Amino acid sequence: MSIAVDHIEAKTSLPEPGQLIGGEWVTTTTGESLRRVDPSTNELLLEFPAAGQKEVDDAVRAARLAFPAWKRTPVNERRGILLTIARLLSESDEQMKTIVALETGSPRSVFSVAPAVDWWEYYAGWADKFAGELNHGYPGRSLSYTRYEPYGVIGALIPWNGPLNVAAMKLAPALAAGNCVVLKTPELSPFAVMRLAQICAEAGLPAGVLGVLNGGRSVSKAIIDHPDVKKVSFTGGPSTGTQIMARAAETLTPVVMELGGKSANLIFADADLDSATLMSTMMGAVLGAGQGCLFPTRLLVQDTVYDDVIARVQAIAENAPLGDPLDLTKVMGPVIGEVAFDRIMDYIEIARNDGSSRLVTGGKRVGGDLQNGFFIEPTIFADVDNSSRIAQEEIFGPVLSVIKFHDEAEAVSIANDSTFGLGAYLHTQDVARAHRVADDLDAGWVGINSFPPLNPTSPFGGVKSSGFGREGGRAGIEEYVHHKSISVPID
């Protein structure tokens, strides 16, 4: 059976397209229709309605009206609803695997709803433990305390890569803290989030507490500009983040920004090279087809093991199981679509010709049965100049840049020579060096001898052009409250 036939049959897993507004599933809108193409076959998946200004207004109005009651909902009830969302989401795993494979090209063998479920469960646990704090009052005795107050209506804008996970990272803490949320689905991967919206309604989330809208930039702008949206949380590229900040500044709307990265990954000569090269290749150029803001796309290698590492990385890349994301034997699928494909191939062509690097392997479109899709071979460039475009710009594709260094000081200097500061990684068996280098790296997230899972227990976010604000841990729920101090004299 051909890949196209398999994907046509799998389309029955997609939800009926619509928007969640005021607790109702709305399938007719005032916005234009959007079309989503299957990145594996370049065939139409579905045409679906986008929101217009009316739907944005309706969703925000419903959220504003629902807010007082949701804010005062007993915390055990709020906790229970979030736990029910987590349970229903977990039960949808098989359907979600297919939806995500069809709309993003992420293989079924790799994807799981478990990480998103974890975020819902974790922040459900915060709902009854996050009330405020007691302060010291003086000079006279007083009862001085601080309440954590939800903002009201939060606008959430999420990217097409990892839509379920990023939605959970924003929705779970915002709802646990007592906010209502209007979320825009990604244009390129809306269907898993639509299904999540249905699950939230099925779990008993009150009407209006969550609005989910489909659309492009016009919908994002309408959400940001709406006077009843009190804070915006965005994950995406720096250029879009800059535009959002400028727009939000006009109304002094606070924002949370996670804006991508060009993460350095340092392999020292004493590292476990089997483990280090496998992690570096799979996370840098194979899994997710390189389409992750946290991926280690700059590989820095100590000179004494440089040639050995290059050979290992090449072998792993050339043997990576690439193909149909519905095939459980494959771990790498296509890039998200034609625009992304053309951009990535342009970067590869620039690197081939500008003298800044040496192509080791890959760099071509995959042919055969996959020729109609947007499949790119895992691509490795060696001897890369850190000032080159492929080393400094976020390609967001399966392209790994390998750079040589001599000693620890040079490694840290090269790693930090970037406008980004989201993630960083290092491999060494020297414990003192591991902690010393981790301290010196300009990044909000550092992994030592591993690519750590993005667990909800730890704050996640970047520095420099990678944004500000945090998702995860106590810091993640604090983004969705402001502090109200109250003092009563008792003498």
* CA gap 366, 398 in Å, rounded: 13
Q: Flag whether pLDDT at 18 surpasses 70.
A: yes
293 is known as an active-site residue: yes
Q: Which of 180, 293, 408, 471 is catalytic?
A: 293
pLDDT tens by residue, 205-232: 999 999 999 999 999 999 999 999 999 9
Q: What crossing angle do the helices spanning 114-126 and 163-176 adopt, rounded to 10°?
A: 10
| Per-residue model confidence (pLDDT) at position 1 | 54
* CA gap 13, 222 in Å, rounded: 31
Q: Flag whether pLDDT at 179 surpasses 60.
A: yes
* CA gap 374, 335 in Å, rounded: 6
| Per-residue model confidence (pLDDT) at position 491 | 82
Cα 231 from chain centre: 19
Provide the β-strand partners of residue 356: none
How far the first Cα of the chain sits from its last, in Å, is 82
202 is known as an active-site residue: no
**What is the CB-side half-sphere exposure of residue 473 using CA atoms within 13 A?**
8
**What is the CB-side half-sphere exposure of residue 406 using CA atoms within 13 A?**
1
pLDDT tens by residue, 361-396: 999 999 999 999 999 999 999 999 999 999 999 999
Q: What crossing angle do the helices spanning 93-104 and 75-91 adopt, rounded to 10°?
A: 70
* CATH tag, 264-456: 3.40.309.10
Q: Say if pTM beats, i.e. exceeds, 0.75.
A: yes
* Nearest alpha carbon to residue 166 among 108, 104, 226: 104
Contact by Cβ (8 Å): 167, 156: yes
Least confident of 32-36, 67-71, 280-284, 444-448: 32-36
Q: Which of 258, 377, 471, 479 is catalytic?
A: 258
Strands 153-157 and 229-235: parallel
* CA gap 241, 248 in Å, rounded: 10
| Per-residue model confidence (pLDDT) at position 190 | 97
Q: Where are the domains of the chain?
A: 3-259+466-485, 264-456
Amino acid letter, residue 331 = V
* CA gap 129, 150 in Å, rounded: 14
* Nearest alpha carbon to residue 49 among 69, 21, 75: 21
If you average pLDDT over residues 239-265, what whole number do you get?
96
Domain 3-259+466-485, CATH among 3.30.70.20, 3.10.20.600, 3.40.50.300, 3.40.605.10? 3.40.605.10
If you average pLDDT over residues 125-142, what whole number do you get?
94
Give 178: exposed, middle or buried? Use CB within 10 Å, 0-12, 13-18, 19+.
buried
Cis bond leading into 456, ω under 30°? no
pLDDT band at 4 (very low <50, low <70, confident <90, very high): confident
3-state secondary structure the chain: CCHHHHHHHHHHHCCCCCEEECCEEECCCCCCEEEEEECCCCEEEEEEECCCHHHHHHHHHHHHHHHHHHHCCCHHHHHHHHHHHHHHHHHCHHHHHHHHHHHHCCCCCCCCCHHHHHHHHHHHHHCCCCCEEEECCCCCCEEEEEEEEECCEEEEECCCCCHHHHHHHHHHHHHHCCCEEEEECCCCCCHHHHHHHHHHHHCCCCCCCEEEECCCHHHHHHHHHCCCEEEEEEECCHHHHHHHHHHHHCCCCCEEEECCCCCEEEECCCCCHHHHHHHHHHHHHHHHHHCCCCCCCEEEEEHHHHHHHHHHHHHHHHCCCECCCCCCCCCECCCCCHHHHHHHHHHHHHHHHCCCCEEEECCCECCHHHCCCCCECCEEEECCCCCCHHHHCCCCCCEEEEEEECCHHHHHHHHHCCCCCCEEEEECCCHHHHHHHHHHCCCCEEEECCCCCCCCCCCECCCHHHEECCECHHHHHHCCEEEEEEEEECC
* Residue matched to tokens 């895992």: 378
Contact by Cβ (8 Å): 261, 466: yes
| Per-residue model confidence (pLDDT) at position 321 | 98
Averaged confidence pLDDT in the chain:
97
If you average pLDDT over residues 121-145, what whole number do you get?
94
- How open is the CA angle 120-123-125, to the nearest 5 degrees? 110
Q: Flag whether pLDDT at 150 surpasses 80.
A: yes
Strands 19-21 and 24-26: antiparallel
Contact by Cβ (8 Å): 377, 368: no
pLDDT band at 5 (very low <50, low <70, confident <90, very high): confident
